[in-house]
């Protein structure tokens, strides 16, 4: 997986723009790059901060990490996208870049502790402020962000909502959380605990990790949508490769570093699914193409089953659309790959992060 990640990053960098692409997509038998992404560029830099020089050079053949970090920061300080700013600050701090003060000021000016931002972006902000190296002064912002996440956590079900409790969510989907809404708060609160030793942060991260693993599929799938009111799965598909080989493991490893809690069986099942997905009788790992494809999804129009399941579960927590598995079998492969997936693979399985797993 690490070798494929390095190969993928080398293919996905766009030297003419000086940033990573939004995605590599197969269409009409050809693999093409599309767009650029600040947040995906930031994730790659975060991942490479723990890598030896040869891996960095192989992943960034046309630029150096310090130069790329400066270019990213130049865009991010003018961005109105909180996710771009938070991940860029995280990357700059990991590389000890001189743009850290400007990115921190931009983050503070966006008011992430009170604005209408989703749980994932609030979590990225908290991690950016508390991840090693030692936190910079932030006028209490890290504590406010942690309090916001903790106020949103549902201890009865062990889940975080897609939107913080003080943000206005849509009526039909306000009860729906996705897998990322579990991963990034676990990671952020684990880093926050290591920084300030707040037991309430660790308690919430532990409870969410236990529920996440309890809901894992029988072949290791990390399902997609959950009901924060009941702690049950709403819709299983799509199953994303990045969840299986990177995001799920890296959240559990962050918790392990903070608490000593280990989930080796859940992590092993997670990766096993990617290698031998029963839905496909095969794998999303395409060694011939040197790529890991994005996901296994239902064959359906316009994400129909997710909408139907969200609507049914809103009407009653126990109600589900019964025909999804028959009408929309989960056998479709999404033939695209994104740089953040490759980045999180390196981050989850780096030598540096392995050392951080020691409490």
Q: What is the pLDDT of residue 135?
A: 65
**CB burial of residue 235 (10 Å; 0-12, 13-18, 19+):** buried
The two structure tokens encoding residue 199: 């037991």
pLDDT digits (tens, 9 = 90+) for 63-94: 999 999 999 999 999 999 999 999 999 999 99
**What is the tens place of the pLDDT at every residue in 14-53?**
999 999 999 999 998 899 999 999 999 999 999 999 999 9
3-state helix, strand, coil split of the chain in percent (to 5) is: 50, 15, 35
Helical ranges in 25-140 per DSSP H: 38-48, 53-59, 65-76, 82-94, 100-109, 119-130
> 295 phi and psi, to 5 degrees?
-165, 165
**SS3 of 271-304:** HHHHHCECCCCECCEECCCCEECCEEECCCCCCH
Q: Are 39 and 83 in contact (CB under 8 A)?
A: yes
Per-residue pLDDT at 359? 41
Length of the chain: 359
CA separation for the pair 32, 25 (Å, rounded): 5
> How much is the pLDDT for 327?
80
8 A C-beta contact, residue 201 and residue 192 = yes
Rounded to a whole number of angstroms, the distance between the first and last alpha carbons of the chain is 26
Residue whose C-alpha is closest to residue 270's, from 247, 236, 298: 247
Ranges of H-type helices in 37-81: 38-48, 53-59, 65-76
Mean pLDDT of the chain: 92
Strands 285-286 and 291-292: antiparallel
**What's the pLDDT at 242?**
98
296 near 335, Cβ under 8 Å?
no
Under DSSP, the state recorded for 245 is I
Q: CA-CA distance, 50 to 140, in Å (whole number)?
A: 28
Domains and CATH numbers, the chain: 1-110 (no CATH), 118-283+295-334 (1.50.10.20)
Whether a cis peptide bond, with omega within 30° of 0, leads into 126 is no
Q: How far apart are CA 298 and CA 306, in angstroms?
A: 10
Q: Which residues of the chain have pLDDT under 50?
A: 354-355, 358-359
SS (H, E, C) 175-238: CEEECHHHHHHHHHHHHHHHHHCCHHHHHHHHHHHHHHHHCCCCCCCCCCEEECCCCEEEECCC
């Amino acid at each position: 997986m690490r070798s494929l990640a390095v190969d993928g990053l080398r293919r996905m960098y766009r030297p003419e723009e000086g940033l990573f692409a939004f995605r590599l997509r197969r269409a009409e038998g050809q693999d093409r790059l599309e767009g650029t992404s600040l947040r995906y560029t930031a994730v790659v830099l975060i991942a490479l901060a723990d890598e030896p020089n040869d891996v960095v050079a192989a992943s960034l053949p046309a630029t150096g990490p310090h130069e790329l970090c400066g270019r990213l920061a130049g865009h991010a300080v003018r961005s109105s996208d909180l996710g771009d700013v938070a991940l860029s600050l995280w990357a700059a701090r990991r590389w000890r870049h001189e743009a850290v003060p400007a990115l921190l000021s931009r983050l503070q000016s966006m008011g992430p502790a009170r604005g209408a931002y989703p749980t994932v972006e609030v979590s990225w902000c908290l991690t950016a402020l508390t991840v090693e190296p030692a936190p910079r002064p932030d006028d209490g912002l890290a504590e406010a962000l942690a309090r916001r996440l903790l106020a949103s956590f549902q201890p009865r079900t062990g889940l975080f909502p897609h939107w913080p409790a003080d943000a206005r969510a849509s009526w039909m989907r306000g009860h729906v959380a996705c897998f990322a809404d579990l991963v990034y708060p676990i990671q952020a609160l684990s880093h926050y605990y290591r920084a300030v030793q707040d037991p309430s942060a660790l308690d919430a991260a532990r409870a969410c990790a236990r529920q996440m693993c309890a809901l894992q599929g029988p072949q290791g799938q990390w399902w997609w949508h959950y009901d924060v009111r009941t702690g049950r799965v709403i819709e299983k598909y799509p199953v994303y490769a990045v969840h299986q080989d990177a995001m799920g493991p890296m959240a559990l490893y962050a918790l392990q570093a903070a608490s000593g809690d280990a989930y080796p069986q859940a992590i092993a099942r997670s990766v096993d699914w990617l290698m031998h997905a029963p839905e496909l009788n095969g794998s999303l790992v395409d060694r011939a193409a040197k790529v890991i494809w994005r996901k296994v999804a239902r064959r359906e129009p316009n994400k129909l089953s997710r909408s139907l399941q969200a609507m049914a579960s809103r009407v009653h927590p126990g109600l589900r659309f019964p025909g999804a598995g028959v009408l929309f079998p989960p056998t479709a492969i999404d033939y695209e790959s994104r740089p953040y997936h490759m980045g999180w693979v390196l981050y989850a399985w780096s030598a540096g992060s392995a050392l951080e797993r020691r409490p």
